[in-house]
Every structure is written in C-alpha cells, then in structure tokens.
Structure 1
C-alpha cells in the first residue's frame, strides 16, 4: 500500500502525471517518477503502468482520491446519508410515522405506511481540462496541486449545484435536487424569526440534520446581532460551524441571486446516495471542442498538433430525498 506524502489524493494525480511525462515506456516512466519524487516515485511509476480507470476502484489510491473529491462537496459533510447501490429497487416512505396511546385490553390501531418504489440509476458528472505537455512536465508542485484542485472542484461543484438548486427538477443525465419541491419560506429582515419558520416547516429529524448555504450568507448570519448587541449565531462563519446547534455546511455553489442566498435544512438520514466509482483518463491523440457548450459550434483543437494533453475525471453519482418533509428552504437571505 503506497500513499503520497502530499495532500490526500495526490498519489493518484502523480500517477497520472507519470503516465503522461514518462510516455508508454515503463523505463521512461520509472526515470520520470524517480527524478521528480525520489524513492516515492518508484512506487508511483509502478502504479502508473496501467491506465487509471474505474477498474482501479477499490485500490487504496483510487479510494483515497474519490474520498478527497467527495469531501470537497456538500455530500462529504452530510454524515448519516443512506448508502445504496445503483439500479436496485428500493422502497421510500412517503408519509410520516407515529404511534398511538392504547388503553388496557383495547385494540391497537394499525399503522399503515405509504411506500413508493424508487431506483437510483447510474448518472455521471465529468470534469475535463487540458494542459500543455511542457506544463505537465514542469517540476513545480503547483502543477500537481492545480491539476488536483481543478479535477476535484470541477466534479464537486457540479455535484453541489445539482444537489442544492431548487429549480433542478432532474433529467435523464442529472438527478433532481433534494430541495426541489421542498417547502420554501421567504426570508424577512428578522433572522431569528426566519429560522423559527424554517424549523416549523421542517418535518425531518433535527438530530441528523444540517443547514447548508453559501459563504456570503454564512458570513451574514455570523454578523447578525440581537437587541443587546451580542451575536445571535457566534458559531457560524464563512467556513461553516453551527447555527442553534445544527451543523452548518458551506458551498459556493449554493444558489444565490440579487435577492440574497439560500439556507437549506436537510435531514441527512433521509437522503439516499449512490456513489461508487471514479475514472481518470487522459489523451493527447484527439481533438477537443474548446467550449463549455460542446453541442454548439466550437473551434476544434488538435491535442497532438498543439502539444496538449486532456484529462477527464468521471464520477458516477446519484441521490434522492426519500423522507417527506426532510428538507425545507429559506430563500432571499440577506441580513
């Protein structure tokens, strides 16, 4: 088992660099890795002999990298989500459950659960970047850090945006957000009253719940003062914290417009989550449409002709809120 001495997931990125910098020759890969990372490079070059694809999932290096990507997303902070497998039929409860008080020798009322079938199909999020061969072979640690940050934040950002955007009703390629169809409360100028209304509209389990917002809204919450001048939410901040004892998660991809930000209250125990593989591949023998809308006309660029390598990270992921009332949303938050 080998891991990089750098940040979590860096071993995987260095393996990718070795494939590109060393070419197809194992000897050149060994020389490249050893010259760049010393003794650790020998282990890296051995890991880089085969392509890094979904077939590597389950290896410590690939698992470490997938966990690093997940931790950058809101999903990484939601502890207690329900792990499920792709394409497997599940039963989701669509009503609440409550028992009854029963007198001595009296018949017990029946509790009827309303269930609905549900299946999470495998969907994928992709981060595609290009870098020159000279940049890839540069020995600066900034190259590896930049590649890792771009691939991780690209995937994590797309996941967060799909997970949180109330307008995302889902499609064949993207899961619906957990906030879509949830109760929505318009914020006022009274933060305490707004949070009270948010909790009142919420029917999930507060002991397993989280608040999610963007850094600007989290900062605004941290600056709210009460009548006596003290901060109402001293444990909140742009990097998270807590509000009223509820953990606060922050993502810059949480929706925000001119009216303000969004504050979502999410019961993690009601979220079904499937995420089981990551694939990182590279090519310097193709042409790319250099556009973020590749279906529209775009300039095609030959990677071979320009001495450029493209790297693509693909994560299979899907999620669903399976608890009625397990999410509530406060919009227009601008204190």
Structure 2
C-alpha cells in the first residue's frame, strides 16, 4: 500500500516549519483520495468477478463432464467415383449395316432412324457408333441415301477401307489377307487406274567384290510396271415390306448377309479363279495363266511341290489358301500314330512353317499358295442405296435364261449382255419387270466401286488340285 506519512517528504521539508503541518495534511488527503479511487475500482471489479465466476465454474464443469464421457467416432469413407464406361471405336461394317437397317424400317413402317439405331447400339459403350450411323443418314431432301455422299460420312468410308476389310476377314479371303496383315489395300482415289512399279528378275543386280583402288562395277536391272484398272462389283436385292414386321436384329442379320456372305463370295470367287480379265468389266483371277501342279500321291508331295514353286520364285511371304475340308484332312493326317500338322495348325496357324488362310470360298480340293509380298489389291467400301419406288428387271447373272451376261459369260453384265426394262419383253423367255411401289417392297443396292487385284508375276502363285483325302 502506498505510504501516507509525508513528514519527511522533500516537498514538506523544503517549506518553513510553520507551513509544514498544513502541507502534510494536504498531501495526506490527496493520497487518501487517490487510494480510495483505486480501491473503488478494485471493489467494483471484484464484485463483477464474483457474479461471473459461478458461470465460468459451471461451464468448465460441463466441459469436464463432456471430455470425461466416452466419445463415439464414426469414420465414413467416401465412395470412389465410378469410372466412365469405355467407348468402343465404331466399326464401319456395323455402322453401315445399322444405317441400312434403320433406313429400311423408315421407308417401310415409318420407324424413326434414331430409334432403330439406338436399339442396335447400347448407350453405355457404343455412343460413337450411334453417332456415326446417324450421320450416315443425314442427307438432303433430294437424291437417294448414299454412303459416299458427304452427309453419309464420306470421310469415314474413304479412310476406313482397311478397317472394313479387316472386319470381313471371317467370310472373305480378301478380308483375311488384309486383317492378318498379309496385304494392304491400294486406293484408286479419283483415278480409273493405278500403276505399280515392278522390278525384273531377282539376282540381276548383285554386288561384286572390289579390290582397294579398283573400279566399282555398274549394276543394271530391269524395272517394269503393272497397271490395275477400277472395276465395279454390284448387286440389287428386293425385300417385301412385311420383313419390317419381324424383329430389328433379324432385319439387321438379313442385310448383313446380303452385304457380306452374298456379295463378298462373288469377289472371292473372281479373285481365286483361273478366268482372265475382261476389259472394263472384271479383273482376272490370280490363277490366270498359271499351270496347276501335277497332284502327288499324298499331302507331302503336294505341299512340297507348292513350297518348291515359291522357293524357285524367291517368294518373301508365302501364304497357303485352303478350304475347310483340306484343313480338316491335314489336321488329321498322321504318320506312325503321330499327328503331323495338328499342333502347328492349331497353335501357330502354319503348315510346314508357312501361314495359311482357310475359307469356304476356296474350292474344296484346291490348295493355293501365293507370295503375299507380290500381291497388289485395291478394295472398296460398299455404297448402299435403297428405294421403294424403283422398277427392276428381275434377272440375275447366272443360272437359267433370261440372265444378264458379261462378255458372253455368267456372273457379269456388260453393254452387250445386260437386260434393261425396254429389253425385258424381247428376251427368251420374257424377263419379269416389277415395281417396288406396286409390290410394297424395298430394293437395296450394294456397289463396291474401285475393286481390282493382281500378282506382280504369275510365278508368285501356284496351286494343285489334290487327289488325297
């Protein structure tokens, strides 16, 4: 506490003795007043603290009880986000079939094309296929629907020739050659012909050993070319509109078979034939001008003869082409109780170390071998048109008359051998002419424009018609 004795205070001692008592009294009163003010403030604070302390004590007690009470902690792990479905790349073949199916149903029973396409491709993995198929059907109000029109995604059809033929490998020898990487299709583009460089006999440009300082000899070989022309493979099929009453997958399957199993069989038959080319009509078969090997006593003689022909031609990539019947016979061939080809054919897809392609389009007893490195092929994506107002001459290009012919032979149609509507009544017997509108039917036309093939030389292909089984 502050000292209230001011008798020895310097301020008092500095005064005359008579004034000192009065000065001591004044200083004491001032100090007492100051002390009183301080005590008043402290008493006030103490009173306020007295009223707050119980509240603080109660809150601390409540907090202590909460802290002492057992706590239940629940940890919730957030479910990870589900990955987005993988979108599969659109296959041109599937999109073509889907768009053709949708257009057929639109014409026959008015089903919106979008509804049909959505039913053929699920939304989870095939959004791109839906989009491509629908874009193929966005066409102008005038003119037929065509896959090669700009609105029918011509960019896709022009640049995915390889993808289309890879997809048809199961039903086509040409498709198998592409899908397995033995051949890459050439593209005609806007041209009517393609010229492929061709070198002369191998071994004519062999290098020579040269002594130091001596002159290096010149090498001269021959260089030629092979020219391929654009050909068109086409067909029309008419379907009753009642087909629209069956399920959409059944319609899709029917159209797919027309595009693949019917039209592509004709392409393979021409490709594997011995028929020569017909100018402006069709390419010659790869066996044109090739003399078949003399059949041996068994599979060993025939296979060795074919491989020997490839060795003589210095083939770089020999490939066998066989029928399912030949494949089965080879897989079951045994010597001394042991299968000869079975394991290699089953596990490696080879015969005597060479790859093979099996197809129903290869004649049953024929075995063909070709150098895939010497094969040139130009392939096309089909152009698909539909019409329910066309009038058609109901004749094909084979079988009994009346039929269309090319160069006087079956499976072709040229200016001299075709049958137009104006010719129908004069054929023997008369050709049928039918209106799609009157029949309540729809005609589907498939055109492969820009097809051609050929070997760089006849020596790069050989074949034999086996006599064993």
For structure 1, the residue ranges without an aligned partner over 5 or more in a row are: none
Contact 1:235 / 1:243 at 8 angstroms: preserved in 2?
no
**1:22-68 C-alpha deviation (Å, 9 max, x unpaired):** 24999943455557767669744454232232234432799354543
Provide the aligned length of Structure 1 versus Structure 2: 326
Contact 2:349 / 2:355 at 8 angstroms: preserved in 1?
yes
Structure with bigger helix share is 2
* Structure 2 CA distance for partners of 1:54 and 1:34, relative to 1, 3 Å: closer
**1:45-98 C-alpha deviation (Å, 9 max, x unpaired):** 454232232234432799354543466321222224354343233322242235
For structure 2, the residue ranges without an aligned partner over 5 or more in a row are: 1-86, 140-144, 398-402, 405-418, 420-426
2:380 equivalent to 1:273? no
2:113 equivalent to 1:29? yes
In structure 1, the residue matched to 2:317 is 208
Q: When the two structures are superposed, what TM-score results if normalisation uses the length of structure 1?
A: 0.83
In structure 2, the residue matched to 1:18 is 102
Structure with bigger strand share is 1
Contact 1:218 / 1:236 at 8 angstroms: preserved in 2?
no
Distance 1:233 1:77 in 2: 21
* Structure 2 CA distance for partners of 1:107 and 1:66, relative to 1, 3 Å: same
* Structure 2 CA distance for partners of 1:253 and 1:236, relative to 1, 3 Å: farther
* Structure 2 CA distance for partners of 1:8 and 1:252, relative to 1, 3 Å: same
CA drift at 1:122: 1.0
2:156 equivalent to 1:59? yes
2:76 equivalent to 1:76? no
CA drift at 1:134: 2.0
Match of 1:302 among 435, 438, 449: 435
CA drift at 1:108: 5.3
In structure 1, the residue matched to 2:414 is none
In structure 1, the residue matched to 2:203 is 97
Of 8-17 and 119-128, the range deviating more from structure 2: 8-17
**1:152-184 C-alpha deviation (Å, 9 max, x unpaired):** 12232112111111x211112111112222342
Q: Secondary structure at the match of 1:291?
A: coil
* Structure 2 CA distance for partners of 1:112 and 1:150, relative to 1, 3 Å: same
Higher RCO (Cα < 8 Å, 6 or more apart):
1
CA drift at 1:313: 1.5
Distance 2:115 2:362 in 1: 45
CA drift at 1:3: 7.1
Q: When the two structures are superposed, what TM-score results if normalisation uses the length of structure 2?
A: 0.61
Contact 1:214 / 1:252 at 8 angstroms: preserved in 2?
yes
Q: Secondary structure at the match of 2:459?
A: coil
* Structure 2 CA distance for partners of 1:163 and 1:131, relative to 1, 3 Å: same
Distance 1:323 1:110 in 2: 26
Q: CA RMSD in A?
A: 3.4
Q: Which structure 2 residues correspond to residues 30-179 of structure 1 after superposition, within 5 A?
A: 30=114, 33=117, 43=131, 44-50=133-139, 51-55=145-149, 56-59=153-156, 63=160, 65=164, 67-69=166-168, 72-78=171-177, 79-81=181-183, 83-86=185-188, 87-98=193-204, 99-104=206-211, 110-165=218-273, 167-172=274-279, 173-179=281-287
Distance 1:324 1:66 in 2: 25
CA drift at 1:124: 1.4
CA drift at 1:100: 4.6
* Structure 2 CA distance for partners of 1:93 and 1:4, relative to 1, 3 Å: closer
